Amino acid sequence: MIDAVLRACAWIETRLGDLAIDRSLDPSRRMAALKAFGDLAHAADILERSAQPALAAIGQRWMELAVRQLAGGERIRELIAAAPIYAPAAVMFLPLHLSGRPCPALYATLAAQIRGAELPPLAWTMLVPSLELYDIEPTAVMRAQARRMSVLAAGTAAALLPQDAAYVLVHECMYATRWGRCPPRWDRDTSAYVAQTLPELIERRTADRDADLVAELILAAHAALGACAAPRAWDALLAAQTPAGNVEPLARLVTMFPRLPHPVLTRTYHTTLVSIMAWTACGHHDAGIN
């Protein structure tokens, strides 16, 4: 497994020169560039905690790059300061925050701007748990909006969850565990729902050859349940890796949510990063984190 991780990391490094944040870009394209480095920092955070020295070293290098490109959070802060509608960019700072690299100026700007933010429910579903991690108390209205798109709140059966809802569930699980750092504080019914739903979704998406979502679900199951996916799911990820090292998503993305435009922020970039995270985070394999 570690060979697959190293080859995937080598491919990612061939893309990093194309991901610089251009402050002259319009906000939507700048958001995409910020997301590219936010995703890289999430992978770096998990790699940094690896028991494998080679992977930990890659993680440290990537995190230093992300911190430098994001200016320690200032690039995100200045976008949020421009208008409340850009408050969702705050979620891109989570890997830096969780790895012990705080940005008080960002938190202060975010706390001020969200008071006037008018956002769609999905944005609140992602933003509210981030606010809590930043020690910013969401209002009752924010929580109510977040609940409207929450898969955990709805408890919809796995067989009825479309692709984009499964992505929402994955993120809710990752927020609840602080990206695998602690067990979730769910009630018994929610815990039972997650324990039943994640394995079933992994099985279904493996059958669909949906490598991107399979990798995310594997990561969520490890973080929320401490469970390792069945060998068939791991085989699917390995089968989706090309000789160049990148992991192809294979399945078509079907979503009602808008996608951020970026010339090199492709699904392959994301799928390769999340596969690196899944392979590295699972302690049942030779790339396990400590």
Taking only the tens place, the pLDDT of each residue in 200-252 is 999 999 999 999 999 999 999 999 999 899 999 999 999 999 999 999 987 66
* CATH number of the domain bearing residue 129: 1.50.10
Three-state secondary structure readout of 37-106:
HHHHHHHHHHHHCECCHHHHHHHHHHHHHHHHHCHHHHHHHHHHHHCHHHHHHHHHHHHHHHCCCCCHHH
What does pTM read for this prediction?
Answer: 0.92
8 A C-beta contact, residue 129 and residue 176: yes
pLDDT by residue (tens digit) across 151-202?
Answer: 999 999 999 999 999 999 999 999 999 999 999 999 999 999 999 999 999 9
- Our count of domains for the chain comes to 1
Inside any domain, residue 132: yes
The span from the CA of 189 to the CA of 184, in Å, is 13
Q: Is residue 264 part of a domain?
A: yes
Please give the residue range of the domain that contains residue 123: 2-281
Q: Does position 114 have pLDDT exceeding 70, yes or no?
A: yes
Residue 290 in this model has a pLDDT that exceeds 70: no
Q: Is residue 53 part of a domain?
A: yes
In degrees, rounded to 5, the angle at the alpha carbon of residue 221 between the alpha carbons of residues 237 and 41 is 70
287 inside domain = no
